[in-house]
Amino acid sequence: MKEKSKGGKIPNKVWLLISFLTAMILWYLLSLNPKTARSFPNIVVTFGAVKTMIGRGVFWKDIQSSLISVSAGFVLGFILSLPTAILMAWYRPVRNIIEPWIQFVRNIPPLAYVPLIVISAGVGRKPQIIVITIATFLIMTITIYQGVINIDETLIKAARVLGATDKDIFLKVIAPATLPFIMTAVRLGASVALTTLIAAESTGAVAGLGMRIRSLNNSFESEPMLLYIIIIGIIGITVEKVIKLLERKLTGWQEKREI
């Protein structure tokens, strides 16, 4: 469905360019204003920091470390959330016991419970992965669970009257019907994994984008700080685009697509 608006004749790509240029101009203005200039060094200086960080030998290490933690935490979160969500949807007792706690923990900022995790898990890679696993597990479980319980019951009935067994119904009806929600969960999970990065890497990490931002904060080096923030943003939007592409391929049969 195309939205009708005054700018209807301008193609989307041009709009994207206009949006990009607007942000660049805003950034430039912020870098001129003495009050904001320290937080927003101009674009050339900011991207010049790539060199500085490579020179210090941390740039690639930071990106690599963060990607490892984020991917590992996300994958673990997904592996745990899928069966949990299905069990919650299937068995009322499981749902009644687990759901309130998922809702409860979901509203606590991960940064708050990081120290407790460090006390038990120590420092290094392990607590980082644990924090991201918890955060992604919570959001993905809720999303997939909502999907499974909202499956149109007449589809299950229709399959049953055509001779489907419980196994057929699970594999041939529930699984494909849940796929769109799984894809949404994957997208939300990936986003949460990245937004949890700073908290995850405040566990005494030795490298990482989040850890580096915090350490640069101590020396007030705003150029590389802003650079690292932008890099997190770029990773986020790239991952989202890839997942959306996958979504369109796998679940294009849907009547309407939301969120």
Is residue 93 part of the contact set for other proteins (CB under 8 A)?
no
Is residue 221 part of the contact set for other proteins (CB under 8 A)?
no
Is residue 3 part of the contact set for other proteins (CB under 8 A)?
no
| Residue 226: CB minimum distance to other proteins, A | 45
DSSP state of 174: I
Is residue 253 part of the contact set for other proteins (CB under 8 A)?
yes
* Closest among 210, 209, 185, 192 to 110, alpha carbons compared: 192
Question: Which residue has 């499956």 as its token pair?
Answer: 151
Is residue 154 part of the contact set for other proteins (CB under 8 A)?
yes
Distances (CA, A) of 79 to 18, 127, 134, 179, 186: 41, 18, 12, 15, 11
Q: Give the contacts of 177 (CB within 8 A, at least 6 positions apart).
A: 151, 152, 155
Is residue 119 part of the contact set for other proteins (CB under 8 A)?
no
Is residue 179 part of the contact set for other proteins (CB under 8 A)?
yes
Give the rounded distance of the alpha carbon of 114 from its chain centre: 18
Is residue 159 part of the contact set for other proteins (CB under 8 A)?
yes
Is residue 120 part of the contact set for other proteins (CB under 8 A)?
no
- Beta carbons of 130 and 115 less than 8 angstroms apart: no
Q: Residues 51, 157, 241, 248: which binds other proteins (CB under 8 A)?
A: 157
Rounded to an integer, what distance in angstroms lies between the CA atom of residue 183 and that of residue 172?
Answer: 17
Q: Residues 158, 171, 206, 246: which binds other proteins (CB under 8 A)?
A: 158
Residue with smaller CB distance to other proteins, 3 or 166:
166
* Total binding residues toward other proteins, as defined by CB under 8 A: 21
Phi and psi dihedrals of 132, rounded to 5? Answer: -70, -35
Positions that interact with other proteins (CB under 8 A): 152, 154-155, 157-164, 168, 172-173, 176-177, 179, 251, 253-255
